[in-house]
């Protein structure tokens, strides 16, 4: 066993955190109760090293896999979780606060273990595998949209070396994690960083995709008056029919107290919008990258840290506040998506890993998650919740086909 973690003495703290997450993710455990179909499989995993990831990793271990693990982001590894997994015999190459060269070195270390299946979040491990020897790899999975995009480019140019399943495409992932997970955890992050009262607050939500829908619903659920901005007219109409005001951002900016960007776009809140905001306005970003708010403009002004993750800028005699430097608020200020939602994503991951291990001759392309896996995940989740649902009668099956 090899690996590198920050402090092995944190293993016990990590174990308690792992156990808490495990208790909220019983789906993963249920899947892992199948007999050992991963014997002889070596997984190379590049995911955020969090308590939820430790549940997935330990389940894969229980299924017989040997595992090398690195972190999907130089900043996102939790040292106690890394220590715990290391103590359990996982080859962990992860610690909080890596330099970029260290981050790359860890990816190479994972590939050095000669994994047969690659599990990635963002595509860095897949791309590194393609640059070096992808020889023994029989397939892989990818958690994110942006990673899938990079793999599609590889496929298009004829250079994809093994089949990959795009876990993000599963209904039980994208219909749930953005709306219910990010919706809640963004509100959570805003409360932890500011402590302000949401009741009666004027909130502008930029973007009405799944994240925007979730954030809008939860902000309203806490008593806020929400206005939505959009560039897509169908989504704008949907927001209106859902009972939100819809406006130009420049019009909404004048009277709002809090702005939350959920667009996946760049340069959404710009200097001209900030210029028209009122004194005391607060800016937060719920999107994956820190490009939605023009932070470079903000930092060109005088600023001071008010509380953890909250900075105040002096602009034209007004005070403007920024949460988490414009980085994704739910991960930086709170704990990212709750374990119950990660359980759905990782159940898809685990079933896709099993599918690859059992079907070593899948076509070399980017696959969607099969409907049967998607369905199975939903069934596991309902079962965990103690919910039983109806089935079609024979008569109804016939009616459906008529």
Instruction: Find the binding residues for its own copies in span 5-24 (CB under 8 A).
Output: 16-17, 19-20, 23-24
The footprint of its own copies on residues 317-356 (CB under 8 A) is 319, 334-335, 338-341
Binding segment (CB under 8 A) for its own copies, from list 34-42, 65-73, 115-123, 230-238: 230-238
Which residues, 172 to 191, sit near its own copies by CB under 8 A? 172, 175-176, 179-181, 183-184, 187-188, 191
> Considering only CA atoms, which of 25, 23, 18, 19 is closest in space to residue 380?
25
Of the pair 75, 304, the CB lying nearest its own copies is at 304
Between 134 and 191, CB nearer to its own copies: 191
In angstroms, what CA-CA distances link 146 with 169, 281, 291? 12, 31, 15
Verify binding: residue 221, its own copies, rule CB under 8 A.
yes
Query: Which listed residue (245, 297, 299, 303) binds its own copies by CB under 8 A?
Result: 245
- Applying CB under 8 A, among 75, 133, 267, 275 the residue interacting with its own copies is 267
Q: Where are the alpha helices (DSSP H) in 335-393?
A: 339-358, 371-384
Nearer to its own copies (CB atom), residue 113 or residue 255: 255
Farthest-apart Cα atoms in the chain, separation = 71
- Select the span of 70-78, 82-90, 98-106, 239-247 touching its own copies (CB under 8 A): 239-247
Alpha helices in 113-244 (DSSP H): 124-131, 145-156, 171-176, 183-194, 210-221, 233-241
193: contact with its own copies by CB under 8 A: no
Residue number, 40 or 280, with CB nearest to its own copies: 280
Among 32, 72, 256, 310, binds its own copies (CB under 8 A): 310
Strands, DSSP E only, in 232-343? 245-246, 258-261, 282-285, 302-307, 310-315, 318-323
Min dist CB 33 to its own copies, Å, is 17
The verdict on 375 binding its own copies (CB under 8 A) reads yes
Q: Taking CB under 8 A as the rule, does residue 288 contact its own copies? A: no
Does 198 bind its own copies (CB under 8 A)? Our answer is yes
Residue 197 engages its own copies in binding (rule: CB under 8 A): yes
- Residue 399 binding its own copies, by CB under 8 A: yes
Toward its own copies, which CB reaches closer, 1 or 389? 389
Distances (CA, A) of 274 to 115, 237, 282: 49, 26, 10
Residue 275 in contact with its own copies, rule: CB under 8 A: no
Residue 266 Cβ, how far from its own copies at the closest point, in Å?
A: 4
Among 229, 345, 348, 349, binds its own copies (CB under 8 A): 229
Please say whether the beta carbons of 382 and 88 come within 8 A.
Answer: no
Task: List, as one string, the DSSP characters of 182-220.
Answer: IHHHHHHHHHHHH----TT-EEEEE--SHHHHHHHHHHH
CA 223, CA 244: separation in Å to the nearest integer? Answer: 13
Q: Is 61 in the site for its own copies (CB under 8 A)?
A: no
Give the bridge partners for 4, in sequence order: 93
Smallest CA-to-CA distance from 32 within 343, 360, 340 is with: 343
Spatial distance between the Cα atoms of 342 and 332, rounded to a whole number of angstroms: 17
């Amino acid at each position: 066993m090899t690996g590198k973690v920050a402090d092995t003495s944190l293993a016990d703290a990590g174990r308690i955190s792992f156990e808490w997450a495990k208790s909220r993710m019983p789906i993963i455990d249920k899947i892992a109760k199948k007999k050992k179909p991963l014997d002889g499989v070596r997984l190379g995993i590049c995911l955020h090293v969090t308590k939820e990831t430790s549940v997935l990793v330990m389940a894969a271990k229980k299924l017989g896999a040997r595992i090398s693990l690195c972190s999907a982001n130089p900043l996102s590894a939790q040292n106690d979780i890394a220590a715990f997994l290391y103590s359990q015999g996982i080859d962990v190459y992860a610690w909080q606060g890596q330099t970029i060269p260290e981050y790359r070195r860890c990816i190479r270390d994972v590939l050095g273990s000669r994994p047969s299946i690659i599990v990635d979040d963002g595509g860095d491990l897949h791309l590194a595998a393609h640059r070096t020897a992808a020889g023994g790899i029989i397939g892989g999975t990818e958690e994110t949209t942006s990673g899938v995009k990079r793999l599609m480019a590889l496929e298009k140019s004829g250079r994809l070396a093994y089949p990959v399943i795009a876990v993000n495409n599963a209904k039980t992932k994208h219909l749930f994690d953005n709306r219910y997970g990010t919706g809640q955890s963004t509100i959570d992050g805003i409360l932890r960083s500011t402590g302000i009262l949401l009741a009666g607050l004027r909130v502008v939500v930029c973007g009405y995709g799944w994240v925007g829908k979730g954030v809008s619903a939860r902000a309203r659920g806490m008593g806020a008056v929400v206005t939505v901005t959009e560039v897509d007219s169908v989504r704008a109409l949907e927001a209106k029919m859902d009972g939100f005001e819809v406006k130009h951002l420049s019009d909404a900016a004048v009277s709002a107290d809090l702005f939350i960007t959920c667009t996946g776009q760049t340069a959404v809140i710009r200097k001209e919008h900030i210029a028209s905001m009122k004194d005391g306005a607060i800016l937060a970003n719920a999107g994956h990258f820190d490009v939605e708010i023009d932070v470079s403009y903000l930092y060109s002004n005088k600023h001071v840290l008010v509380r953890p993750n909250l900075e105040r800028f002096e602009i034209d005699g007004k005070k403007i506040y920024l949460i988490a430097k414009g980085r994704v608020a739910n991960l930086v200020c709170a704990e990212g998506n709750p374990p119950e939602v990660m359980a759905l994503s990782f159940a898809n991951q685990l079933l896709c890993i099993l599918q690859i291990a059992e079907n070593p001759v899948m076509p070399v392309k980017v696959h969607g998650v099969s409907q049967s896996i998607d369905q199975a995940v939903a069934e596991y989740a309902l079962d965990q919740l103690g919910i039983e649902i109806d089935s079609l009668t024979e008569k109804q099956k016939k009616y459906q086909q008529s």
